[in-house]
Chains A and B, each alone.
Chain A
Amino acid sequence: MSRLDDGLREALRRVDPGPDFTRAVLERAAAARPKESWWQRLAFGMRPPLVRWAAAGLVACALLATGVEYQYERQQRAEGEAAKQQLVLALRIAGAKLHGVQEKVLERANRN
């Protein structure tokens, strides 16, 4: 180790910036923190974990609504199908009766 090395270590030793340095840095760091705007404060409820609960609730509501809608449509379709069957049956009965009446009318006409 030369005297020049020793001299350089002495000349370039660490220097403390002073007792106020830490406080100044912390003050600047605090000032640099972005302040919440009015709309951010308004959207307080959108912060986690509230936002996660809200999203889960929305998804549950959507699933429930979809299920109810599906069940309603299925019931409507079944009722429509039953009504259709009843109508077809009624038409067949009416057709059969008309056919019977028509045969009787033709029979009488042939007799006369």
Chain B
Amino acid sequence: METATEMAEAAAEVGGFAGIVRQHQAMVFSIAYHFLHDRALAEEVAQEVFLQLHQSVEEMQSGAHVGFWLRRVASHRAIDCSRRRKLRPQVGLEDAPEPATMPAVGDPMLTRRLERLVGSLPEKPRMVMILRYQEDLSPVEIAEALDMPVRTVKSHLQRSLELLREKLRRAVGEENL
């Protein structure tokens, strides 16, 4: 039987952890979702990330540290999951179908098109793009999260943007980009 103190500690622990989950769940889930393009799988990965946090929550030094840790673990777990389950998209960027017209920014068609194009990038460039445009991280921050040199991050960003731009330019023309 738990003592009153133990029950109070458990309640405080659960309340604090629940708050952390609520605060960061959109970020963690979105990293996995944009990378894997599978809602159920992304939810599983996100839950595993938070379970791992629950086991090592005492090591966290601040709220910022929790955010950095979650972003980093979510990125690596999503990549691992993709490799393990062989969910890397089979359609290459070059093979993706061209859109008939260039929709305006904010248009659902453009959004879906860009989601697909980003999803067709190789693992590392894809995660770099997600962290850049979902999380608005700088190349230095992305490099820290993914354990890669800043030069490599910049190279991935540049090449990915060129590929995406070229892919869309073929369909809609220079002036629309």
Measured CB to CB, the residues of B under 8 A from A are 14, 17-18, 21-22, 25-27, 29-30, 33-34, 42-43, 46-47, 50-51, 54-55, 105-106, 110-112, 114-115, 118, 129-130, 133-134, 161, 164-165, 168, 176-177
**Are B134 and A12 in contact (CB-based, < 8 A)?**
yes
With both chains docked as a complex, state the minimum distance between the C-beta of A13 and any C-beta of chain B, in angstroms: 7
Number of A-B contacts (CB under 8 A): 95
With both chains docked as a complex, state the minimum distance between the C-beta of B110 and any C-beta of chain A, in angstroms: 5
With both chains docked as a complex, state the minimum distance between the C-beta of A20 and any C-beta of chain B, in angstroms: 9
Q: Which of A3, A9, A22, A32 contacts B133 (CB 8 A)?
A: A9
With both chains docked as a complex, state the minimum distance between the C-beta of B164 and any C-beta of chain A, in angstroms: 6
**Are B27 and A14 in contact (CB-based, < 8 A)?**
yes
Interface residues contributed by chain A, number (CB under 8 Å): 25
- 12 A-B pairs whose Cβ atoms sit less than 8 Å apart in the complex: A4-B164, A7-B111, A10-B110, A11-B111, A14-B134, A16-B25, A17-B29, A21-B29, A22-B18, A22-B25, A24-B47, A26-B17
**Are A2 and B177 in contact (CB-based, < 8 A)?**
yes
**Least CB separation from A44: chain B residue:** B1
Q: Which of B25, B54, B161, B165 contacts A17 (CB 8 A)?
A: B25
**Are B105 and A25 in contact (CB-based, < 8 A)?**
no
Measured CB to CB, the residues of A under 8 A from B are 2-17, 21-22, 24-26, 28-30, 32
Which A residues touch B129, using CB under 8 A? 8, 12
Q: Which of A10, A13, A14, A32 contacts B51 (CB 8 A)?
A: A32
